Amino acid sequence: MIFKNLYRSLTAQFLMIFIGGTILTAFLIFTLSEFERRDVVSQNRYKRIAEKVEVAYLIMESVPKELRVKEATILNETNISIDFPKTNINPIKEQANKQDLLQEALQKTLKNSSNIYSEEIDPSSCQKNHNSDGIKKANFSCLSIYTSLSDNTPIHFKVKLREIKPPTLSNRFILNTSIFLVVIFFLALYASYIATKPLRLLAKAAKDFGNNIETESLIENKGPYEVREAAKAFNAMQSSIKSYVEERVFMLAAITHDLQTPLTRLRLRLEKVSDEELKSKLIEDLSSTQKMIQEGLVFFRSINISEPFKKIDLNSLLESICEDAKEAGHDVSYNSEIKNPMLGNVEALRRSITNIIDNAVKYGKFAHVSGREEDRKAIITITDGGKGIPENQMETVFEPFKRLENSRSRDSGGTGLGLTIARIIALKHGGNIKLNNANEKDLGLVVTITLPLQIN
């Protein structure tokens, strides 16, 4: 799971592509260089063999015919042995001309010889030579070379050839390669960081904008062309959404303000109604209307938290809210162990937590508030003594103006916006609110508020 999440990161993908491409390129270069090195070594090797054969060939050319066998015996003390076949070698022989590089070197060196044939034979054929250089059988091969002298005398050379072992990796090569890979890794990491930095800034700006539409705009005159264009598009979107929300909030505020005067006059006129029962019902409906208008305005304002975030002591905030509830005559208990602060808007968080405590007291008779820290987050739970909520209604109650028939009727005075406002505020602070039914006896609904803490 960790590797999968890491691979989904654009920085990690850039890094792996860069490192993988570099290693693959280096491997191909090293492979091609090794083939080239082996070709050069083979050419030089056969060139030296051809030069040794040339020396022996010239010696045989320079001595009289009757002394050639004796001279060849002397040369046999080295890694080259010479004998003189009685007949010429058949040029159509299948095993002839198998050493192409050696054949080419011999043709260039022995210019006076028209027919040259070479082949690799059993190493044991060279064992009769004096092993003056201490070469063991397992470490050499044997080359057989047929040609003829200028007087058409056939001559046969056997050359003992040391086997070339592939080079082993030296400590210095391993050290240099390791340094190379480490340098490439950090260069790739830095390049990936620089390449993805604009995306991280854009993601942060989008997250901040989701919490507060009054967040600062992105800088439009820095970075590559694509980044500047993305910043301009984001700022234009931010301005458009901000204007849209402000217009709606202003419109609702204006409607609310304009309704206050006629509702007040209506309330005064209702006092003149003689029928007490009718008067009581009309006043109750009017109060509900005024409350719905006020909570609707609060709902729209909660969408946009324009005040800057500040450090908040959640323990002090929870204690203050619970003390206020107790003074209002509610059964509220409090216990919290949150030590680290968080960044947020005090009034908005107070409204969110107060709404939940009010619901707990209204529908569950009491509210028990507790707080703790877990994974750099504050976990606040508010438990009541009500009947709970059906599992299939846990998310429905967060929708605006949604009320459960048995617990949130108009007779109870609720408008269905309390939990909606509470969750919006929590989300604006980077947290969330979830509901669960308690398993313990005499306990009903458990509301869990999760908020990020600022831990240094």
Please state the pTM of the whole predicted model. 0.49
Q: What would the DSSP string read from start to end of 151-214? A: T--EEEEEEEEE--PPPPPPHHHHHHHHHHHHHHHHHHHHHHHHHHHHHHHHHHHHHHHHH-TT
Distances (CA, A) of 347 to 321, 400, 425, 434: 11, 21, 10, 21
pLDDT at 393 over 80: yes
Which of 130-139, 206-215, 381-390, 444-453 has the weakest average pLDDT? 130-139
* Residue 76, phi then psi, degrees to nearest 5: -65, -15
pLDDT at 297 over 70: no
Please name the amino acid found at residue 229. E
Report strand pairing: 310-312 vs 117-121.
unpaired
pLDDT at 134 over 50: no
Q: Which pLDDT value is given to residue 408?
A: 42
pLDDT at 14 over 60: yes
pLDDT at 386 over 80: yes
Per-residue pLDDT of 19-53, as tens digits, reads 888 888 878 887 888 788 777 877 787 788 888 88
Distance of CA 411 to the CA centre of its chain: 54
Closest Cα to residue 348, out of 310, 377, 379, 381?
310
pLDDT at 124 over 80: no
113: left (phi > 0), else alpha (psi -120 to 50), else beta?
beta
* Residue 106, H or E segment: helix 100-109
- Interval 313-328 mean pLDDT: 92
Q: Which residues contact 325 (CB under 8 A, 6 or more apart)?
A: 332, 354, 357, 358, 361, 367
Ordered strands of the 432-437 beta sheet: 331-336, 366-374, 377-384, 445-452, 432-437
197-304 is classed in which CATH architecture? Orthogonal Bundle (1.10)
* Residues 270, 287: Cα–Cα separation, whole Å: 12
Closest Cα to residue 452, out of 348, 340, 356?
340
Which of 192-201, 207-216, 369-378, 409-418 has the weakest average pLDDT? 409-418
- Interval 223-237 mean pLDDT: 82
What CATH number does domain 308-452 carry, 3.40.50.11540, 3.30.565.10, 3.20.20.140, 3.30.1330.60? 3.30.565.10
Whether the Cβ atoms of residue 52 and residue 45 lie closer than 8 Å to each other = no
Q: Which pLDDT value is given to residue 81?
A: 84
Closest Cα to residue 162, out of 136, 192, 197?
136
Q: Average pLDDT of the chain?
A: 77
Per-residue pLDDT of 82-99, as tens digits, reads 888 876 655 444 444 445
Place of tokens 């709970």: 388
pLDDT at 153 over 80: yes
> By CB neighbour count within 10 A (0-12 exposed, 13-18 middle, 19+ buried), where does 231 fall?
buried
pLDDT at 121 over 60: yes
Predicted confidence band at 143 (pLDDT cuts at 50, 70, 90)? confident
